[in-house]
Structure 1
Amino acid sequence: MVGDMIAAVLYGKEDLRLERIATPRARRGELVVRVGAALTCGTDLKVYRRGYHAMMLKPPILFGHEVAGVVAEAGEGVPGFREGDRVVALNSAPCDHCFFCCRGQQNLCEDLLFNNGAYAEYIRIPGRIVEKNTLLIPAGVPFEHAALTEPLACVVRGLEETGASPGDTMVVIGAGPIGLMFMHVAELAGMEVIAVVKRDDQVATAKLFGAAHVVQTTAVEDTVAATRALTAKGRGADAVIEAVATPTTWEWAVDMVRKGGVVNFFGGPPRGTRVQLDTNRLHYGDITLKASFHHTPSTCRTAFELITSGRFHCKEAITDRVGLDQVPELFARMLTRTGGSREIKTAVFPEGVSR
């Protein structure tokens, strides 16, 4: 493992380039992983469109953060991993010492260490992530399935934050990758899921991922009324997950929940976005509003168990496969695609794809 490698580097807004750069070497406590598979992500697309991410990265920088592969080099002092191990390395790790970490909010760590560079032949894993958020992949679990751990861990935490219980009714607004994961995890947890989607192709996909009922926004006059009509006595859902990130869907979420229910604003709109909410309904309806961000080491392990146990629909979540050389073209295409077919996540294979 010497010489150069090919990697995708983000230079700014819609400026993603494949470059030949030096192959990383493992320093003390670190791993270098030969990438087996990396996955596209809505956050990556958002960063590509905007040209930056306030917390995760500032260009020019290596790109991509959902990854699994094989340990190519283990630095001095690395316990528990050796060359040849199949691993999934999460994209961050908390310090476990700051104000927030000490209060069980590791996702808000004041020194949260992020890592990027999944769209490459090799990726260096910082020591803290090696120690706290790198997991051995069991034999038989494909790399592209293991790489789902990071987004699924965010969803697991979001679901935990709602406090929903088996038998509860949950509305999920949005049928992108995150919305579909919420539907599936909620269904696995014993909840009755109502999906709110837009496109024709999303109706069948929502049902595949566990939705008992689907409301298509383009097929009804009043989306809120149609959704509430599917709940007991029309009182609204016990919990609502917003996974679209628009002011309209944030307002829908509040109007769809029952008195005493919980709304989780999971989709993050751009900075400066404002919404209008009925304060009278919020107050006298005793409604809880929450917003969930990122994951913790605990939810990473819960998500990993869902994947490795075979309970989660990993195969169905991977809807396309490309080689590393197609990544810039792939993101340009993702910006303009309008649906019409089931598109969830694309797996990127540095070694190429057999068609």
Structure 2
Amino acid sequence: MSTVQNATRVMTAAVLYGQQDVRIEHVAVPEPGPGEIVVEIKAALTCGTDLKVYKRGYHAKMLTPPALFGHEFAGVVTAVGDGVRRFSEGDRVVALNSAPCGVCFHCERNQPNLCDDLLFNNGAYAEYIRVPARIVEKNTLRIPDGVAYEHAALTEPLACVVRGLDECESALETRPGDTVAVIGAGPIGLMFMNVAQIAGYRVIAVVKHDEQVRLARLFGAAEVVQTTKTSDPVAAVRALTPDARGVDIAIEAVAVPDTWEWAVDMVRAGGLVNFFGGPAAGTRVALDTNRLHYNDITLKASFHHTPDAARKAFALVTEGKFQSAEYITGRARLEDLNDVFRRLMSRTQEIKTAILP
């Protein structure tokens, strides 16, 4: 994607060319087609998925380089296409990064996150973004006055977390006060702690670094097990449950084989494991089949979000139940995006950085 010449309107945008190759360029300001809107971005947020894309140089489902980059954002509608009725210029909105078709095999079975034609949208690290008609229709929400743009932009990752916990609750008869272990204290792990605590669960956090102990407690963990301070994290978690029977729900949010195995060993008989973290393709995990079978353990994986989960997540943010402000730990200009990602690669304790075009 080259610099646009002789365009009547240009904007600054981040373009992904490959592995750790993001260039800040001038490209054409998008124009809306039928059913589409154009949004002036007021805040875009970094996330773990974007960091993976930055390191790998591609994403098999979401984009193929060269491509506009980034997917968590909120802003103001500046143009509307023919047929748009729900939004007008000047509306404050958050648009999610995808929308299902509604008619395929999986959509008809209430699995829209697995839609055969899931439409993705990227380009949040820019001054403007065009939102496709399907996302305008299904996954764009008007932000109430008084809600900060960078807080509203949390809706997309939070929707994935909300759906993950909902999936646990639909598969297991849960009760207030049940124990949830969350393995991992990255942005997603911290969101799981926050949402589980809001839902009335007792949260045990499993973290690695000293600063993550503080963050886990900030976001609702009643107990914290630090893996660098114990020789057996599984035993340490089980010791925090009645009769050391294990937790009711274990959520894995690290995406490595060891922690997948820990999650299975931490959960009680009759409990549930949610493998939320997605390891690299080809990863294999060793599980004790005897334990799984004779303890009637449910194994569940959760991928992506749905329109219903998006609205539940949006409500948590806009109603002030979610600790939105605590997740924004840095702010930077679009021109500094490469520096931001290099810092994230060094595993700083930043949660999310708001990129302000």
TM-score normalised to structure 1 length: 0.97
Match of 1:16 among 19, 22, 44: 22
- Which of 13, 17, 20 is residue 7 of structure 1 equivalent to? 13
Match in the other structure for 2:203? 193
Task: Name the residue aligned to 1:353.
Answer: none
Look up the SS of the partner of 1:211 in the other structure.
Answer: coil
Alignment partners' CA distance in 2, 1:34 and 1:219: 47
Equivalent residue number for residue 204 of structure 1: 214
In structure 1, the partner of 2:125 is 119
Distance 2:179 2:350 in 1: 26
Query: SS at 1:100's partner residue?
Result: helix
Q: Describe the SS at the equivalent of 2:217.
A: helix
Shift of 1:333: 2.3
Partner of 2:356: 349
Equivalent position to 2:160, from 148, 154, 157: 154
Report if the CA contact (8 A) 1:155-1:178 is conserved: yes
Give 1:2 shift: 5.1
Of residues 293, 297, 315, the one that matches 1:287 is 297
Q: Deviations over 1:12-50 (max 9, x none)?
A: 111111010010001110000000100000000011111
Q: Give me the whole-angstrom Cα distance separating, in 2, the residues matched to 1:73 and 1:300.
A: 24
Any stretches of 5+ residues in structure 1 without a counterpart? 351-355
Task: Assess if the C-alpha contact under 8 Å between 1:37 and 1:143 holds in 2.
Answer: yes
How high is the sequence identity, in percent, across the aligned residues?
68
Aligned twin of 1:170: 180
Q: Which residue of 1 aligns with 2:3?
A: none
Whether the 8 Å contact between 2:332 and 2:355 is mirrored in structure 1 is yes
List, as ranges, runs of 4+ consecutive aligned residues in structure 1 with deviation greater than 4 Å: none
1:18, 1:328 within 8 Å by CA — same for their partners in 2?
Answer: no
2:265 aligned with 1:255, yes or no? yes
Alignment match, 1:69? 75
How far did residue 150 of structure 1 move? Answer: 0.1
* 2-structure distance, mates of 1:7, 1:97: 34
Alpha-carbon distance in structure 1 between the residues aligned to 2:328 and 2:141: 21
Pairs within 5 Å for 1:325-344: 325-335=335-345, 337-339=346-348, 342-344=349-351
AA aligned to 2:232 is D
Aligned pairs, how many?
Answer: 347
Q: Aligned ranges for residues 31-110 of structure 1 at < 5 Å? A: 31-110=37-116
Q: CA deviation at 1:10?
A: 0.5
Residues 141-162 of structure 1: CA deviation (Å, up to 9, x unaligned): 0100000000000000000111
For 1:60 and 1:331, the matched residues in 2 are separated by 18
TM-score normalised according to structure 2 size? 0.96
Quote the offset at 1:54 in angstroms.
1.1
Question: Following TM superposition, by how much is the alpha carbon of 1:260 offset from its aligned partner in structure 2, in angstroms?
Answer: 0.5
- Report the Cα distance in structure 2 between the residues aligned to 1:54 and 1:248, rounded to whole angstroms: 25
Alignment root-mean-square deviation, CA: 1.0
Within 2, Cα distance between the matches of 1:161 and 1:3? 45
Tell me whether 1:243 sits opposite 2:258 in the alignment.
no
For the 8 Å contact 1:169–1:191, the answer to whether it is kept is: yes
- Look up the equivalent residue of 1:346 and give its one-letter code: T
Task: Give the C-alpha shift of residue 140 in structure 1.
Answer: 0.6
Report the Cα offset of residue 166 of structure 1.
Answer: 2.1
